Chains A and B, each alone.
Chain A
Amino acid sequence: MRFNPLFLKKTIILSSFFAIFSICSPNAKANSEGVDSAKHAAEHTEQVAEGHEDAHGKEGEFNATETIMEHISDSHDWHLWGDKSFGLPVILKTDAGLVHFNSEEFHHDNEGSHVVEANGQRFVRFENKVYYASETANEKGQYLAFVGEHPTNGKPLDFSITKNVASMFLSAILLLLIFTSIASSYKNREGKAPKGFQSLLEPIIVFVRDEIARPNIGHRYVGYMPFLLTIFFFIWINNLIGLVPIFPGGANLTGNIAVTFTLGVISFLVVSFSGNKYYWKHIFAPDVPWWLYPIMLIVEIIGVLSKPFALIVRLFANITAGHIIVLSLISLIFIFKTMAIAPVSIGFVLFMYVLELLVAFLQAFIFTMLTALFIGTAVEEHHHYD
């Protein structure tokens, strides 16, 4: 294998660094998978109940977990500052066809108590999910029927242009603008030295070609260049946009499991469709005694599936962890309710931001690098020990 073990090592170090950081931070802890979901749910009920009991009494109470979760998860509105936000299109695939309306019609309600009527159907939003509204409200004013903590109401398929989708469109437009303008400057200045923006991005394009595509895939790299370049710049620009704290940025796109899942699946499909007969033979008919086949087949299939799974989880965890750390550090100010902690907080956040800039590049690089490596093993000519 022509893989550089240094990068794996780096990833492991970084990941463990994040893991330690997440464990140390009391706020982030609640977000980790290992947390008792019942406890989390109980907390939430309390908040909801509190919110309804006295809407103004305990509003100032700061809940770091809720704030952080709100920032790193997707939403139908794009929150700007304070209580300012603007609505995005909600598109629902219901049993009776497509329904769309502006998310402002929910009036920032996220607890299922405001019904939106569209196309003769009634919808409520609860914890960022859209449900078909019940006929009548329950004792908390929610048009939902609950079993335990989860609503039992039906859900339409939600194809809304959420904050993440809007952010992704923005990144796609940016990528198109940047790279078509660069392409035209290549045409206008044919054979000349690069200039301006072109010379900024050219080394990175050359880096993807010479350090990622060529060494991992070999002479067949040319056909994979568009895919690798797109995935590299898509992940990188979205990582960077995610780090911008003010309006067009801030969406935790590459830290969303749906996005990394899609990218991982696309990478898996590309690898699988490029696989030659040696690759498939190695998986379905490895060179082992026949009675080992039941085990080997399972092992090989797990091996094939674990590759995209690792890609999905690595990107998701790294970016989400970065966002959680930054938000946790900022939350310290509000938890301690003193300005004295602010310099410490800001100092750490600054440090984390610089680190996150590195991680933004590194994760894009690793995703592309591993994809190229997997493609390389799939298109590799026969190299067996027999």
Chain B
Amino acid sequence: MELVTPSIGLVFWTTLTFVLLIMLLSKFAWKPIVAALNDREKSIEDALNAAEKAKEELSRLNVESDKLIKAARVERDKMLKEAKTLSDSLIHEAKVQAHAEGAKMIAKAHHEINNQKLAALAEVKNQVGALSIQIAEKILRKKFADAKEQEALVTELLKDVKLN
């Protein structure tokens, strides 16, 4: 029975010690420790949240830059395409113009050639005429060197002339 009979002295000292211990430990140990633990947990949580936020921000930026790159690429493609069409049309135009010019020049050349040809032909004709006259003159001079012959011819010609 003695084992299960609480003794007054021990009850007294236990109460005193325990109550003092609670008061002292709460003031000097538990309050600062629990506060420090809570603070640290909060700061860790905050840091984790901030990291999460930064990660989100980063991925958002990534998406944005991707979008920008894509847009730039599209823009570039468009510009290239435009430039190509422009150059194509320019070349085409130039070709057409060149064709037209060429044709015109050819036509002009043709005309010139014709003119030159005609002029040359006229010259040749004239030359031939002059030469013919000279030749005829020379022949005539030769033929009509003696007076008899001339006489004969005049007579002949006079023969044909019938006086009306």
Contacts and interface: CB of A to CB of B under 8 A. Distances in A.
A172 B20 CA distance: 9
Interface residues of A, number: 51
Contacts of B49: none
B158 interface: no
9 contacts: A160-B9, A165-B10, A175-B25, A183-B32, A186-B36, A226-B25, A229-B30, A258-B8, A258-B10
Given A168-B14, A182-B33, A225-B30, A157 B9 contact: yes
B26 A230 contact: yes
Interface stretch (B37-45, B66-74, B97-105, B124-132): B37-45
B11 interface: yes
Q: Helix, strand, loop or mixed for chain A's interface?
A: helix
Interface of A: 31, 33, 37, 69, 72-74, 91, 127, 157-162, 164-165, 168-169, 172, 175-176, 179-180, 182-183, 186-187, 190-191, 202, 205-206, 209, 222, 225-227, 229-230, 234, 256-259, 261-263, 266, 316, 320
A257 B3 contact: yes
B8 to A, nearest CB: 6
A209 B29 contact: no
A180 B28 contact: yes
A222 B2 CA distance: 40
B37 A230 contact: no
Contacts of A226: 22, 25-26, 30-31
B6 A320 contact: no
B5 interface: yes
Contact of A158 (B9, B30, B31): B9
Nearest to A206: B37
Contacts of A229: 25, 30
A343 B126 CA distance: 159
